[in-house]
Structure 1
Amino acid sequence: MKLQPQELAQEGFVLMDELEHQDLMPFIQRYIKKRTQATILYYVANILMMGLAVGLLIRFAKTGFAEAFAHFAYGVALAFLLIPLHEYVHALAYKSQGAKQTSYDANLRKFYFMAMADQFVANRKEFQIVALAPFMVITLMLTILLFIVPGLWMVTVAGAMLTHTSMCSGDFGLLSYLDVHRDKEMVTYDDKSAGRSYFYGR
């Protein structure tokens, strides 16, 4: 979107919410529990990934449960290693929508990681692309890998898919917030120096 933050008020936008990045997780938890299109997609995706992982565990557990479970644990670890890629895809998606500056933030104690586009005003469609890009890209990559790897490594890939999908709660929680306000034209932007994100509607 070509608007600047300081132009929002004169264009009729009103501040709806102000999110401190330190308080990101409570905000996500509040909106991931609401019944919206975003949360339905999130929970359906998790159920499908859970079914895949459990199905493969049962299949390969017949030849040794401990080994099958170990490979599942490898997948969980792999999902954590994918976090930098996840955030990088966010940054690429921001740039694809016109953002000039992107950066990253993380808080290991509160366990959140985020990509930001400082002062870039994104409308609903642009933010949906940014939010969904890592889920779509990494899920596609792992799905392709699932058909390439041999035997027990399928359990590893399924474990990574399930864990990564569950870790996308932040993205789907923010999309759920937009769904809650679907009756309004919503825009959002990050302020890196203030450590906050702002949501405006009209």
Structure 2
Amino acid sequence: MTAAELKQHPGYEKWTTLSHSDILPFVQEEFGRRGWLTRFYLLLNLAMLLLMILMAVWQVTHGLIGTGRVVMNTVLGFVLTLSLLVPVHEGIHGIAYKLVGAPRVQFGSDIRKFIFYAMADHFVIGFPRFAFVALSPFFIINFFAAGAVFYVSLNYQWILLGVLLMHTGACAGDFAMLSFFLRHRNEGLLTYDDVAEHTSYFFRKKRAEMRAEP
């Protein structure tokens, strides 16, 4: 279904919009709702942090590595994530969009808020394909970073662990949007981006249509 067809579809109605300049407040609001996915995401981040602390304490007390080296290499992992991995992360979003059928993909950012995003102009997408697009960078980057931990020296392991922790934290926007879709999964949400207007439009099934479904 094209965006033009969606606008005219008798079974759908325009429900809400999201200006791309309001992504940060949207993410904060979604996490404030404490849905099961955002709770899981926060617990995942906490579990990773606690595991890293326990690993660091054990390794330092056994003389395997110094505290300064752990901190420095972890911070280096943070820096690499927030610099080199940003285009990789968004590029994976772009490839995922292409794989689900988007004819063209563009990228945007709000440097002041350190927000980056991929857009498929007027490409209509629903929950299953959106979930694939949203989670692809999380799984791909974290899979390779976690796998590489077992094949490098202890110093490099802490760089990779820093990458894992920071990249997982940087996926907050993806999890927030996916949580939004899940909260409204019974409404048959469809969305598309309008690149020129820097806005995402959300449509849902008309209530009469939802009541008529068995």
Q: TM-score, normalised by structure 2?
A: 0.89
Q: More relative contact order in 1 or in 2 (CA 8 Å, sep 6+)? A: 1
Number of the residue aligned with 1:44: 43
* 1:47 shift after superposition: 2.2
Pairing 1:162–2:165 present: yes
The alignment of Structure 1 onto Structure 2 pairs a total of residues equal to 200
Query: How many angstroms apart in 2 are the aligned matches of 1:193 and 1:101?
Result: 14
What residue ranges of structure 2 are gaps of 5+ in the alignment? 206-214
Number of the residue aligned with 1:56: 55
Query: How many angstroms apart in 2 are the aligned matches of 1:61 and 1:20?
Result: 47
Number of the residue aligned with 1:113: 116
User: Could you tell me whether the CA contact under 8 Å between 2:105 and 2:119 is conserved in 1?
Assistant: yes
* 1:50 shift after superposition: 1.2
**Is the deviation greater in 95-104 or in 45-54?**
45-54
Q: Which one has the bigger helix percentage? A: 2
Counterparts of 1:49-198 in structure 2, within 5 Å, are 49-62=48-61, 63=63, 64-80=66-82, 81-198=84-201
User: Could you tell me whether the CA contact under 8 Å between 1:53 and 1:159 is conserved in 2?
Assistant: no
Query: How many angstroms apart in 1 are the aligned matches of 2:50 and 2:149?
Result: 14
Alignment identity in percent?
A: 34
User: Could you tell me whether the CA contact under 8 Å between 2:193 and 2:201 is conserved in 1?
Assistant: yes
Query: How many angstroms apart in 1 are the aligned matches of 2:51 and 2:148?
Result: 14
* 1:16 shift after superposition: 1.9
Larger Rg: 2
User: Could you tell me whether the CA contact under 8 Å between 2:127 and 2:185 is conserved in 1?
Assistant: no
User: Could you tell me whether the CA contact under 8 Å between 2:37 and 2:175 is conserved in 1?
Assistant: yes
Query: How many angstroms apart in 2 are the aligned matches of 1:191 and 1:173?
Result: 20
Number of the residue aligned with 1:35: 34
User: Could you tell me whether the CA contact under 8 Å between 1:91 and 1:102 is conserved in 2?
Assistant: yes
User: What value does the CA root-mean-square deviation take over the aligned residues?
Assistant: 1.3
Q: TM-score, normalised by structure 1?
A: 0.94
Number of the residue aligned with 1:7: 5
What residue ranges of structure 1 are gaps of 5+ in the alignment? none
